[in-house]
Amino acid sequence: MAVLPIKLFDEGIEQPCYAYPDDAGLDLRSTVDATLQPGQRMVVPTGIAIALPEGHAGLIVPRSGLAAKHGISVVNGPGLIDTGYRGEIKVVLINLDPEKPFSIARGDRIAQLVVIPFVHADISIVQNLDETDRGQGGFGSSGRA
């Protein structure tokens, strides 16, 4: 298990935590009250900074309940936090509902943080790539929905 040092900028906001013991994502909370109009995006502060362990990255992902019930998502989802970043984590939310505004209250859970290991690749420029069954088949190439 990796240790994740967290700096709290706002002691009045509940610290990130896993809702259930087997959850992959830590809940992140808003430090502000705000309303997202239909189609509007907003950078929402969480009041925390983290020190990711070497070889790890943080992914900011949408909360499924907000997406399903209200059309709220993360614009650059997943958002990427690099190992060396030490600034406040902010989440770029968007209201995809075409009609209803969405209100965020201070302390609301707005997104999740997933900490993952990563591997740096050694880049090798080649003239040709190896052949595969899929080849250059892209979007929808499997014929499955």
Residue 134 confidence (pLDDT): 81
The secondary structure of the chain in percent helix, strand, coil, rounded to multiples of 5, reads: 5, 35, 60
Give the span between the Cα atoms of 60 and 25, in whole angstroms. 9
pLDDT at residue number 14:
94
Residue 48 near residue 110 (C-beta atoms within 8 A): no
For residues 139 and 67, the model is more confident at 67
Q: What is the pLDDT of residues 106-136, one digit of tens each?
A: 999 999 999 999 999 999 999 999 998 888 8
pLDDT tens, residue by residue, 6-53? 999 999 999 999 999 999 999 999 999 999 999 999 999 999 999 999
Residue 30 CB burial class (10 angstroms; 0-12, 13-18, ≥19): buried
Does this model's pTM top 0.85? Answer: yes
78/135 Cα distance (integer angstroms)? 27
pLDDT (tens digit per residue) in 46-94:
999 999 999 999 999 999 999 999 999 999 989 999 999 999 999 999 9
